[in-house]
Amino acid sequence: MYLSLASYVTIFRILLIFPFVICLLQTNHPDYGNGFRGGAIVIFLVMAVSDAVDGYLARVKKQVSALGTFLDPVADKLMITCASVILCVPQTAIEGFHLPLAVVVLIVGKDVLLLLGFLVTYLLTVQVHIRPVWAGKASTFLQIVMVSSILIGPEMAGWIHFWPLVTAITWWTTGVCAILATFVYIYRGIRYIEEFHNTQNKDELMLDSPE
């Protein structure tokens, strides 16, 4: 199977999740915690840049593929889900920037509902329907900003004393946006299923009508 350059970039981003998770799990190491957190920041930055690169290749260079359309959101969700869970667990959370469990539930819950919606849509239409919406893109962007603000939190708090407040506003805004994105995706999914069945019914009527 031929893979476009954009697909290779996406696969590279997925592979980077493993060292990213390892670094996050060691951010509270008594001796090398800051070094591991610095490594997590660098890897996260590389993943964010690669996301922009494969998006550019797919849209501008016309390298859109079915595999890439599927893998790109999977890479984003794996990255954000892993980061959110690790930054929420007390043993691995960054001191002073403990991500609330409620925000993680909203983020992960959105992705679980989207997965269920995808399965329901496929069962009802027997078609793979993956189409990002503005709310989903905004939610992903805010999640990236949220994780970034937490990872650089200890340094930024030394420069900007109200940085913890900025971070808190960021993660609650991210949670609200996740709820909004969920409703938008549900609405779009229902509309797609209705339009699909209406089209099917019209085709059946045309076939049954006498010549």
How would you write 144-191 as a 3-class SS string? HHHHHHHHCHHHHHHHCCCHHHHHHHHHHHHHHHHHHHHHHHHHHHHH
Closest CA to 27 of 40, 16, 14: 40
Residue from 144, 153, 173, 124 nearest 49 by CA: 144
d(CA 104, CA 168): 13
Residue-level pLDDT at 2: 60
Q: Residue 207's pLDDT is what?
A: 47
Residues whose CB is less than 8 angstroms from the CB of residue 151 and which lie 6 or more positions away in sequence, other chains included: 37, 40, 41, 44, 94
Length of the chain in terms of residues written:
211
**In this structure, are residues 33 and 26 in contact, taking their beta carbons and an 8 Å threshold?**
yes
- Identify the CA nearest to 143 among candidates 99, 184, 206: 99
Cβ distance 101 to 43 under 8 Å? no
* Per-domain boundaries in the chain: 5-208
Q: Is the CATH number 3.40.50 carried by domain 5-208?
A: no
- pLDDT, one tens digit for every residue, the chain (211 residues): 567 777 888 889 999 999 999 999 999 888 888 999 999 999 999 998 888 887 777 676 666 666 667 788 888 889 999 999 999 999 999 989 999 999 999 999 998 888 888 788 878 777 766 676 788 889 889 999 999 999 999 999 989 999 999 999 999 999 999 999 999 888 888 888 888 777 776 655 454 444 4
